[in-house]
Protein backbone atom coordinates (compact mmCIF):
# COMPACT_ATOMS: atom_id res chain seq x y z
CA UNK A 1 0.00 0.00 0.00
CA UNK A 2 1.46 3.28 -1.09
CA UNK A 3 0.91 6.52 0.74
CA UNK A 4 0.04 9.60 -1.27
CA UNK A 5 2.25 12.52 -0.39
CA UNK A 6 0.82 15.99 -0.99
CA UNK A 7 3.20 18.15 -2.99
CA UNK A 8 2.77 21.89 -2.33
CA UNK A 9 1.58 23.75 -5.39
CA UNK A 10 4.04 26.29 -6.69
CA UNK A 11 2.97 29.54 -8.27
CA UNK A 12 4.78 31.21 -11.07
CA UNK A 13 6.62 34.26 -9.81
CA UNK A 14 5.91 37.31 -11.94
CA UNK A 15 8.85 39.56 -12.60
CA UNK A 16 8.72 42.73 -10.51
CA UNK A 17 7.70 45.86 -12.40
CA UNK A 18 10.22 48.63 -12.16
CA UNK A 19 9.17 51.12 -9.54
CA UNK A 20 8.16 54.53 -10.84
CA UNK A 21 10.80 57.06 -9.96
CA UNK A 22 9.89 59.89 -7.60
CA UNK A 23 11.04 62.41 -10.18
CA UNK A 24 8.70 61.00 -12.83
CA UNK A 25 5.78 61.04 -10.38
CA UNK A 26 6.49 64.72 -9.65
CA UNK A 27 6.63 65.52 -13.37
CA UNK A 28 3.28 63.80 -14.01
CA UNK A 29 1.71 65.56 -11.03
CA UNK A 30 2.91 68.96 -12.23
CA UNK A 31 1.66 68.18 -15.73
CA UNK A 32 -1.88 67.48 -14.53
CA UNK A 33 -1.81 70.58 -12.33
CA UNK A 34 -0.79 72.62 -15.38
CA UNK A 35 -3.58 71.06 -17.46
CA UNK A 36 -6.13 71.91 -14.75
CA UNK A 37 -4.88 75.50 -14.46
CA UNK A 38 -4.96 76.03 -18.23
CA UNK A 39 -8.45 74.53 -18.47
CA UNK A 40 -9.71 76.83 -15.72
CA UNK A 41 -7.87 79.78 -17.30
CA UNK A 42 -9.35 78.98 -20.72
CA UNK A 43 -12.97 78.14 -19.92
CA UNK A 44 -13.88 79.49 -16.46
CA UNK A 45 -11.92 82.62 -15.50
CA UNK A 46 -8.53 84.22 -15.88
CA UNK A 47 -6.57 87.19 -14.50
CA UNK A 48 -6.17 90.25 -16.69
CA UNK A 49 -3.76 93.19 -16.46
CA UNK A 50 -4.75 96.71 -17.53
CA UNK A 51 -1.90 97.98 -19.72
CA UNK A 52 -3.29 101.38 -20.80
CA UNK A 53 -5.43 104.36 -19.83
CA UNK A 54 -8.25 103.73 -22.33
CA UNK A 55 -10.77 102.64 -19.66
CA UNK A 56 -10.15 105.42 -17.14
CA UNK A 57 -11.65 106.45 -14.77
CA UNK A 58 -13.21 103.02 -14.06
CA UNK A 59 -9.97 101.13 -14.70
CA UNK A 60 -6.43 102.39 -14.16
CA UNK A 61 -3.22 101.16 -15.70
CA UNK A 62 -1.84 98.64 -13.20
CA UNK A 63 -5.22 97.19 -12.15
CA UNK A 64 -5.48 93.40 -12.00
CA UNK A 65 -8.89 91.92 -12.76
CA UNK A 66 -10.77 88.66 -12.85
CA UNK A 67 -12.34 88.00 -16.25
CA UNK A 68 -14.96 85.24 -16.44
CA UNK A 69 -15.00 83.17 -19.63
CA UNK A 70 -18.41 81.45 -19.50
CA UNK A 71 -21.07 84.27 -19.48
CA UNK A 72 -21.09 84.55 -23.29
CA UNK A 73 -20.26 80.92 -24.08
CA UNK A 74 -17.00 79.90 -25.73
CA UNK A 75 -15.34 80.64 -29.06
CA UNK A 76 -11.96 80.36 -30.74
CA UNK A 77 -10.53 83.14 -28.52
CA UNK A 78 -11.50 81.43 -25.25
CA UNK A 79 -8.51 79.08 -24.77
CA UNK A 80 -5.32 80.55 -23.35
CA UNK A 81 -2.92 82.06 -25.89
CA UNK A 82 -5.55 81.73 -28.67
CA UNK A 83 -4.19 78.36 -29.75
CA UNK A 84 -7.30 77.33 -31.72
CA UNK A 85 -7.93 78.27 -35.38
CA UNK A 86 -10.61 80.83 -36.07
CA UNK A 87 -14.18 79.65 -36.46
CA UNK A 88 -17.44 81.59 -36.73
CA UNK A 89 -19.98 81.65 -33.92
CA UNK A 90 -19.91 80.53 -30.29
CA UNK A 91 -20.64 77.40 -28.28
CA UNK A 92 -23.61 78.08 -25.96
CA UNK A 93 -23.31 81.66 -27.15
CA UNK A 94 -24.90 84.66 -25.51
CA UNK A 95 -24.52 88.35 -26.35
CA UNK A 96 -23.11 90.82 -23.81
CA UNK A 97 -25.44 93.29 -22.16
CA UNK A 98 -25.05 96.93 -23.06
CA UNK A 99 -22.59 98.36 -20.58
CA UNK A 100 -20.66 95.13 -19.91
CA UNK A 101 -16.88 95.51 -19.80
CA UNK A 102 -15.41 92.81 -22.04
CA UNK A 103 -12.07 91.63 -23.32
CA UNK A 104 -11.85 91.41 -27.10
CA UNK A 105 -9.35 90.31 -29.73
CA UNK A 106 -9.29 92.64 -32.79
CA UNK A 107 -10.06 90.91 -36.10
CA UNK A 108 -6.83 89.48 -37.49
CA UNK A 109 -4.97 90.18 -34.24
CA UNK A 110 -3.87 88.26 -31.17
CA UNK A 111 -3.62 90.91 -28.45
CA UNK A 112 -6.55 91.33 -26.03
CA UNK A 113 -8.18 94.75 -25.57
CA UNK A 114 -10.63 95.71 -22.84
CA UNK A 115 -13.63 97.89 -23.76
CA UNK A 116 -17.28 98.50 -22.91
CA UNK A 117 -20.16 97.07 -24.94
CA UNK A 118 -22.22 100.00 -26.27
CA UNK A 119 -24.17 98.75 -29.29
CA UNK A 120 -25.73 95.34 -29.90
CA UNK A 121 -26.91 93.77 -33.21
CA UNK A 122 -29.50 96.03 -34.86
CA UNK A 123 -28.52 99.14 -32.84
CA UNK A 124 -27.55 102.32 -34.63
CA UNK A 125 -24.58 104.04 -32.98
CA UNK A 126 -23.61 107.65 -33.53
CA UNK A 127 -21.51 110.32 -31.79
CA UNK A 128 -21.97 114.05 -32.25
CA UNK A 129 -19.67 116.49 -30.48
CA UNK A 130 -18.69 113.70 -28.12
CA UNK A 131 -22.26 112.81 -27.10
CA UNK A 132 -23.40 109.24 -27.65
CA UNK A 133 -26.60 108.70 -29.68
CA UNK A 134 -28.16 105.22 -29.68
CA UNK A 135 -30.95 104.33 -32.09
CA UNK A 136 -31.51 107.99 -32.88
CA UNK A 137 -31.86 109.09 -29.23
CA UNK A 138 -29.12 110.82 -27.23
CA UNK A 139 -28.03 108.64 -24.32
CA UNK A 140 -28.76 110.26 -20.97
CA UNK A 141 -25.61 111.99 -19.74
CA UNK A 142 -24.78 114.36 -16.93
CA UNK A 143 -21.75 116.30 -15.82
CA UNK A 144 -20.30 114.93 -12.60
CA UNK A 145 -17.67 116.24 -10.20
CA UNK A 146 -14.17 115.72 -11.62
CA UNK A 147 -12.28 112.53 -10.82
CA UNK A 148 -9.24 113.04 -8.60
CA UNK A 149 -6.84 110.23 -9.48
CA UNK A 150 -3.61 110.05 -7.44
CA UNK A 151 -0.54 110.57 -9.62
CA UNK A 152 1.91 107.67 -9.66
CA UNK A 153 4.16 105.79 -12.09
CA UNK A 154 1.21 103.97 -13.69
CA UNK A 155 -1.00 107.10 -13.72
CA UNK A 156 1.48 109.92 -14.36
CA UNK A 157 -1.05 112.47 -15.66
CA UNK A 158 1.22 112.99 -18.66
CA UNK A 159 0.82 114.80 -21.96
CA UNK A 160 -2.49 113.11 -22.73
CA UNK A 161 -3.88 115.01 -19.72
CA UNK A 162 -1.86 118.20 -20.13
CA UNK A 163 -2.80 120.79 -17.50
CA UNK A 164 -4.89 118.36 -15.44
CA UNK A 165 -2.38 117.79 -12.63
CA UNK A 166 -3.18 119.61 -9.39
CA UNK A 167 -1.88 119.54 -5.81
CA UNK A 168 -4.04 119.49 -2.73
CA UNK A 169 -3.27 121.25 0.54
CA UNK A 170 -1.43 118.20 1.82
CA UNK A 171 0.99 118.43 -1.12
CA UNK A 172 -0.20 115.29 -2.90
CA UNK A 173 -0.48 115.34 -6.71
CA UNK A 174 -3.72 114.33 -8.44
CA UNK A 175 -4.96 114.13 -12.01
CA UNK A 176 -8.17 116.18 -12.10
CA UNK A 177 -10.28 114.82 -14.95
CA UNK A 178 -13.69 116.00 -16.24
CA UNK A 179 -16.37 113.34 -15.87
CA UNK A 180 -19.57 112.72 -17.83
CA UNK A 181 -21.81 109.92 -16.55
CA UNK A 182 -23.74 107.99 -19.20
CA UNK A 183 -26.77 105.76 -18.66
CA UNK A 184 -27.54 103.31 -21.46
CA UNK A 185 -31.14 102.23 -22.12
CA UNK A 186 -31.92 99.51 -19.59
CA UNK A 187 -28.24 99.25 -18.75
CA UNK A 188 -25.77 100.48 -16.19
CA UNK A 189 -24.51 103.97 -15.51
CA UNK A 190 -20.79 104.54 -15.73
CA UNK A 191 -18.36 107.46 -15.79
CA UNK A 192 -16.51 108.57 -18.91
CA UNK A 193 -13.73 111.12 -19.33
CA UNK A 194 -14.42 114.05 -21.68
CA UNK A 195 -11.22 116.00 -22.38
CA UNK A 196 -12.76 118.19 -25.10
CA UNK A 197 -12.81 118.00 -28.92
CA UNK A 198 -11.03 114.97 -30.36
CA UNK A 199 -10.88 112.83 -33.50
CA UNK A 200 -13.52 110.35 -32.30
CA UNK A 201 -16.11 112.91 -31.16
CA UNK A 202 -18.05 112.67 -34.42
CA UNK A 203 -18.78 109.22 -35.79
CA UNK A 204 -21.46 107.39 -37.75
CA UNK A 205 -24.30 106.70 -37.75
CA UNK A 206 -23.52 103.02 -38.21
CA UNK A 207 -25.84 100.05 -37.79
CA UNK A 208 -24.38 97.12 -35.85
CA UNK A 209 -24.64 93.96 -38.02
CA UNK A 210 -26.01 90.65 -36.77
CA UNK A 211 -23.50 88.77 -34.63
CA UNK A 212 -21.46 91.90 -33.87
CA UNK A 213 -20.95 94.27 -30.94
CA UNK A 214 -19.89 97.94 -30.95
CA UNK A 215 -17.26 98.62 -28.28
CA UNK A 216 -15.82 101.83 -26.82
CA UNK A 217 -13.41 102.85 -24.08
CA UNK A 218 -14.56 105.04 -21.18
CA UNK A 219 -11.64 107.43 -21.73
CA UNK A 220 -13.41 108.56 -24.89
CA UNK A 221 -10.75 110.90 -26.23
CA UNK A 222 -7.88 108.46 -25.66
CA UNK A 223 -9.32 105.10 -26.69
CA UNK A 224 -8.70 103.09 -29.88
CA UNK A 225 -12.00 101.24 -30.25
CA UNK A 226 -14.80 100.49 -32.73
CA UNK A 227 -14.68 104.07 -33.98
CA UNK A 228 -11.22 103.61 -35.49
CA UNK A 229 -9.79 101.38 -38.24
CA UNK A 230 -7.47 98.48 -37.52
CA UNK A 231 -4.62 100.42 -39.14
CA UNK A 232 -4.89 102.97 -36.31
CA UNK A 233 -4.82 100.22 -33.64
CA UNK A 234 -8.62 100.40 -33.37
CA UNK A 235 -11.16 97.59 -33.64
CA UNK A 236 -12.20 98.34 -37.21
CA UNK A 237 -15.90 98.93 -36.47
CA UNK A 238 -18.35 96.55 -34.77
CA UNK A 239 -16.53 93.38 -33.68
CA UNK A 240 -17.72 89.81 -34.40
CA UNK A 241 -19.10 88.37 -31.16
CA UNK A 242 -16.80 85.34 -31.42
CA UNK A 243 -13.87 87.73 -30.85
CA UNK A 244 -15.11 88.53 -27.34
CA UNK A 245 -13.18 86.49 -24.80
CA UNK A 246 -15.00 87.18 -21.54
CA UNK A 247 -16.53 89.65 -19.08
CA UNK A 248 -14.62 91.71 -16.51
CA UNK A 249 -15.96 90.99 -13.02
CA UNK A 250 -13.94 92.74 -10.30
CA UNK A 251 -10.54 94.20 -9.43
CA UNK A 252 -8.33 91.89 -7.39
CA UNK A 253 -5.56 94.40 -6.67
CA UNK A 254 -3.82 97.38 -8.25
CA UNK A 255 -0.15 98.39 -8.49
CA UNK A 256 1.24 101.90 -8.89
CA UNK A 257 4.15 100.87 -11.12
CA UNK A 258 7.00 101.04 -8.59
CA UNK A 259 7.46 97.29 -8.04
CA UNK A 260 10.90 95.75 -8.54
CA UNK A 261 10.76 92.07 -9.39
CA UNK A 262 13.71 91.07 -7.19
CA UNK A 263 12.69 93.18 -4.20
CA UNK A 264 9.60 91.68 -2.49
CA UNK A 265 9.33 94.68 -0.15
CA UNK A 266 8.31 96.86 -3.12
CA UNK A 267 5.45 94.50 -3.96
CA UNK A 268 3.52 95.63 -0.90
CA UNK A 269 4.50 99.29 -1.03
CA UNK A 270 3.25 99.47 -4.62
CA UNK A 271 -0.29 98.34 -3.78
CA UNK A 272 -2.91 101.03 -4.37
CA UNK A 273 -5.32 101.21 -1.47
CA UNK A 274 -9.09 101.07 -1.85
CA UNK A 275 -9.30 99.34 -5.24
CA UNK A 276 -9.26 95.62 -4.36
CA UNK A 277 -12.70 94.05 -4.69
CA UNK A 278 -14.28 96.87 -6.73
CA UNK A 279 -17.00 95.39 -8.95
CA UNK A 280 -16.97 96.11 -12.68
CA UNK A 281 -20.56 95.17 -13.37
CA UNK A 282 -21.76 98.81 -13.31
CA UNK A 283 -24.57 100.64 -11.52
CA UNK A 284 -28.10 100.14 -12.85
CA UNK A 285 -30.66 102.88 -13.27
CA UNK A 286 -32.60 101.50 -10.28
CA UNK A 287 -29.51 101.70 -8.08
CA UNK A 288 -28.83 105.22 -9.34
CA UNK A 289 -32.30 106.44 -8.32
CA UNK A 290 -31.86 104.94 -4.86
CA UNK A 291 -28.65 106.89 -4.18
Residues in the chain: 291
- Residue 54 appears among annotated catalytic residues: yes
Angstrom CA distances, 81 to 33, 39, 110, 202, 272, stand at 18, 12, 8, 35, 29
Q: Which of 54, 75, 78, 223 is catalytic?
A: 54
How many helices, marked H, and strands, marked E, lie in the chain?
A: 3, 16
Q: What is the largest CA-CA distance in the chain?
A: 122
**DSSP-assigned letters across all residues of 68-135:** ESSTT-B-TTSSGGG-SPP-SS-BT--PPPTT-EEEE--TT--S-EEEEEEE-TT-EEEEETTEEEET
**Cα–Cα distance measured from residue 256 to residue 261, given in angstroms and rounded to the nearest whole number:** 14
Q: Which of 46, 61, 69, 115 is catalytic?
A: 115
- Residue 172 appears among annotated catalytic residues: no
Query: Taking Cα atoms as reference points, which of 101, 200, 184, 91 lies closest to residue 141?
Result: 184
**Cα–Cα distance measured from residue 254 to residue 268, given in angstroms and rounded to the nearest whole number:** 11
Residues 6+ apart with CB under 8 A from 176: 146, 147, 148, 164, 165, 166
Question: Mind telling me the catalytic residues?
Answer: 54, 115
Amino acid sequence: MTEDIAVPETKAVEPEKPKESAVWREIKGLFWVLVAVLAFHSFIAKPFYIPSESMMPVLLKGDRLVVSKYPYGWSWVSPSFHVLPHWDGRLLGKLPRRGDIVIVTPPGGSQDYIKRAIGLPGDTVELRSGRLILNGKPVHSEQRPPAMIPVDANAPCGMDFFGAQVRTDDGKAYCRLPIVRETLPGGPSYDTIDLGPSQGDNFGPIKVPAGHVFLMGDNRDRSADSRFPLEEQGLGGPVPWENIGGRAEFITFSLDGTTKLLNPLTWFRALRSGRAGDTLRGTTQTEESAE
